[in-house]
Structures are given as structure tokens and as C-alpha cells.
């Protein structure tokens, strides 16, 4: 004769087996395992049992409760699975997906990346500085005295607190030297600003890659060789590079860089693309003052620096006729570089 608890268990298991939905299953659970369910109520009934019977029935009660709980759970899981696969079956996985518009890098950005890649291979590390600068970094430390025309309010954007939008990326030369002793080999890529009359080749915001190399015995030959290498990597082997004397306050001697390349549309034309030169001792002196040490002693160290006009380079490389196209956000223009 099975124990009444075993009978209850078998009865519950049969009902669970025949339940057709989650609700029927829940009703069965409450009927047997709920607070006053017929299996649960055996907890009370146990108190009336003889002492030696208690552990036997207690054990049985546990087993019965576990068996019924497990059956309900597994049945519930089955219902759940059926529901999910039913929902999945309604999805037509052969339908085409929703296409996302894939953007692309701006041609100027692509130009910077190309330039940076080449300089990386030549051992230059990337340095940084802010667009909003102090007069010290933009002018004073670069041997550009207060009466220099570059500092004229007509030529530069000043903020009311006396700071300004940097007129060139040469500011980063000073920041890099202030933060690390020589030898130093860095480039900095970013925007610069001037109050230029806007036309096909001038814009109030333009872009540069600045370079600085400080070591013992750096010479003009290093400067020329490395910039020539850069231009040939960029424009191809048929590229000629010319250096013409110029003046910049922060270099001595100073040079302008011109290129022409048979690989390009405007093949025969010399185009000015950069300024460069040997770092002026007065620039090292400014850094000595700022660092308050002799790390950049001009008797020991020399260096070259350059500033490449990235808008100009991109215009040559991609044959773009007007600098204003870079900022107009015309998708017909931008898509050509996707």
C-alpha cells in the first residue's frame, strides 16, 4: 500500500503531464505546493506523528516536494521553448536587412592620415597642443616680437581674455620641448587660423602638420633629405622638390618648400607646400627659460622644423580646385573620396 504522500505525488505528476498551458501548470502548482496545497499541508500533519515516524515521513515529504517541483519546472521550460520557437518561425530570415549608410573620412582627414603614416615610418612621434593658445606659445617663444605683423589684430583671432586661435601649429614645438628633453622627434597635426580674405586658396581655418627634430649635429641636409623623402612617398617617384630661401622668425636659415610632380595633373607647376628651417637659437633660449634648466643648450643641440600646408597638399594630391570645398559639406564633393 503506497503512502498517501506517494499517491499525492503520482496524482500531481499526472496532472502536470496533462497540463496544456502555463496557466494549467500554475493551477496544479498552487493545488499541491501552494501555502495550503495538499502536499504542503503535510508539514502540519507531521507534528501529530509518532516520534519514530517523523524522520521517515519528513524524508518522503522532501522527495515528493522535489519531484513535483522539478516536473513543473521542466514542463514550464518546455512551454517557454515552444513559445520562443513559434515566434522565431514567424521571422523571414531570407528578407534583405536594413542597410546602414556607411560614412567615410573627410579628404583632409585622409590627407593627415597619409602624412602621419609616412612620418611614423621615419620615427616621428605624435605630439599635441590646443587650438586656443597663449601669445607665449604662438609668438613670444617662437622669437616673434610684439611688433611683428603676425600679431596684428587684423591678422589673428583674439579672445577677450587675451588668448588667441593659433596661427600655426608651431606652438606644439614649444609645448613638446617644454615637456621632454632632447633628442626629440615629433610631429603635430591640426588646425590653424588666420584672418585671411577667403578665396579659392585661402581660408580662415586651415590645417598643418608640424615637425620638429632636435638632436646633436642636425643639419640642413637632414631637413632636405627627409622632406624630399616625404614628398616622394606622397606624390610618387617623379616628384621634384625645391627649397627657396625665406624668412621665419623661429628658424635660421629659413626655407620654403616647393614641389612639382609628373604624376599630378598640374605636373609642370611648382607649388609651395611648406615652410621650414633650422631651429633659431632664440627658440631654444625661450625653452630654457620656460623649463628652467639647460636641457636645450643651443651650444649642444641643433634642430630642424617644418610646417606643411595640408589643405594645399590635399588639393594637389586629389586635384581639388577650391579650398572652400573642404568646409562646405557638399555630399557630391565628399562622396568622391569615400
* 3-state SS, residue 106: coil
Least Cβ distance, residue 214 to ligand DAH (angstroms): 12
Least Cβ distance, residue 144 to ligand DAH (angstroms): 10
Contact region with ligand DAH (CB under 6 A), list: 42-50, 133-141, 275-283, 294-302: 275-283
What is the spatial distance between Cα 234 and Cα 48, in angstroms, rounded to a whole number?
A: 96
Least Cβ distance, residue 290 to ligand DAH (angstroms): 18
CA-derived radius of gyration, the chain? 39
Contact region with ligand DAH (CB under 6 A), list: 197-205, 261-269, 274-282, 328-336: 274-282
Question: Quick one: 170 or 189, whose CB is closer to ligand DAH?
Answer: 170
Question: Quick one: 24 or 180, whose CB is closer to ligand DAH?
Answer: 180
CA distances in angstroms from 105 to 109, 131, 186, 257, 334, listed in the order given: 6, 21, 24, 27, 9
Interface mask (CB under 6 A) for ligand DAH, residues 123-152, using x and -?
------------------------------
Sequential DSSP letters for 300-335: T-EEEEEEEEHHHHHHHHTT-S-TTHHHH--HHHHG
C-alpha cell at 256: 620654403
Of positions 8, 72, 177, 276, contacts ligand DAH by CB under 6 A: 276
Question: Quick one: 208 or 261, whose CB is closer to ligand DAH?
Answer: 208
Of positions 15, 144, 171, 251, contacts ligand DAH by CB under 6 A: 251
Q: Is residue 275 within the footprint of ligand DAH (CB under 6 A)?
A: yes
Interface mask (CB under 6 A) for ligand DAH, residues 163-202, using x and -?
-----x-x--------------------------------
Q: Yes or no: say if 162 and 133 are a contact pair by the CB < 8 Å rule.
A: no
Least Cβ distance, residue 332 to ligand DAH (angstroms): 31
* Residue in this structure with the C-alpha cell 599635441, named with its chain if needed: 128
Q: Is residue 115 within the footprint of ligand DAH (CB under 6 A)?
A: no
Least Cβ distance, residue 291 to ligand DAH (angstroms): 19
What is the spatial distance between Cα 275 and Cα 277, in angstroms, rounded to a whole number?
A: 7
Question: Quick one: 65 or 194, whose CB is closer to ligand DAH?
Answer: 194
Question: Quick one: 182 or 275, whose CB is closer to ligand DAH?
Answer: 275
Of positions 32, 119, 284, 306, contacts ligand DAH by CB under 6 A: 306
Measured CA angle at 228 (ends 218, 266), to 5 deg: 150
Least Cβ distance, residue 325 to ligand DAH (angstroms): 22
In degrees and rounded to multiples of 5, residue 292 shows phi and psi of 60, 35
Pure H helices in 34-158? 42-45, 53-89, 107-121, 135-138
Q: Yes or no: say if 252 and 283 are a contact pair by the CB < 8 Å rule.
A: no
In degrees and rounded to multiples of 5, residue 287 shows phi and psi of -70, -40
Q: Is residue 295 within the footprint of ligand DAH (CB under 6 A)?
A: no
What is the spatial distance between Cα 222 and Cα 304, in angstroms, rounded to a whole number?
A: 8
Q: Is residue 230 within the footprint of ligand DAH (CB under 6 A)?
A: no
Which positions lie near ligand DAH, rule CB under 6 A?
A: 168, 170, 210, 248, 251, 275-277, 305-307
Amino acid at each position: 500500500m503506497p503512502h498517501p504522500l506517494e499517491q499525492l505525488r503520482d496524482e500531481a505528476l499526472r496532472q502536470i503531464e496533462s497540463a496544456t498551458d502555463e496557466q494549467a501548470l500554475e493551477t496544479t502548482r498552487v493545488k499541491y505546493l501552494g501555502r495550503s496545497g495538499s502536499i504542503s499541508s503535510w508539514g502540519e500533519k507531521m507534528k501529530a506523528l509518532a516520534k519514530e515516524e517523523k524522520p521517515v515521513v519528513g524524508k518522503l515529504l522532501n522527495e515528493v516536494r522535489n519531484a513535483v517541483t522539478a516536473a513543473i519546472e521542466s514542463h514550464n521550460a518546455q512551454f517557454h521553448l515552444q513559445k520562443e520557437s513559434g515566434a522565431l518561425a514567424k521571422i523571414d530570415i531570407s528578407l534583405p536587412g536594413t542597410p546602414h549608410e556607411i560614412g567615410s573620412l573627410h579628404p583632409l582627414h585622409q590627407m593627415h592620415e597619409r602624412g602621419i603614416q609616412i612620418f611614423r615610418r621615419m620615427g616621428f612621434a605624435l605630439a599635441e597642443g590646443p587650438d586656443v593658445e597663449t601669445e607665449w606659445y604662438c609668438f613670444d617663444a617662437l622669437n616673434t616680437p610684439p611688433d611683428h605683423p603676425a600679431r596684428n589684430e587684423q591678422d589673428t583671432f583674439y579672445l577677450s581674455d587675451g588668448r588667441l586661435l593659433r596661427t600655426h601649429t608651431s606652438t606644439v614645438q614649444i609645448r613638446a620641448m617644454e615637456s621632454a628633453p632632447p633628442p626629440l622627434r615629433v610631429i603635430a597635426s591640426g588646425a590653424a587660423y588666420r584672418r585671411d580674405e577667403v578665396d579659392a586658396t585661402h581660408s580662415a581655418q586651415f590645417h598643418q602638420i608640424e615637425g620638429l627634430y632636435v638632436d646633436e649635429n642636425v643639419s640642413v641636409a637632414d631637413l632636405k633629405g627627409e622632406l624630399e623623402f616625404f614628398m616622394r612617398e606622397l606624390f610618387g617617384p617623379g616628384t621634384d622638390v625645391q627649397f627657396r630661401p625665406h624668412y621665419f622668425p623661429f628658424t635660421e636659415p629659413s626655407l620654403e618648400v616647393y614641389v612639382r610632380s609628373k604624376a599630378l595633373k598640374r605636373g609642370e607647376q611648382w607649388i609651395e607646400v611648406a615652410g621650414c628651417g633650422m631651429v633659431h637659437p632664440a627658440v631654444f633660449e625661450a625653452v630654457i627659460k620656460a623649463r628652467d634648466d639647460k636641457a636645450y643648450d643651443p651650444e649642444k643641440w641643433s634642430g630642424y622644423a617644418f610646417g606643411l600646408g595640408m589643405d594645399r597638399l590635399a588639393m594637389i594630391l586629389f586635384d581639388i580646385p577650391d579650398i572652400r570645398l573642404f568646409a562646405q559639406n557638399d555630399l557630391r564633393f565628399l562622396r568622391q573620396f569615400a
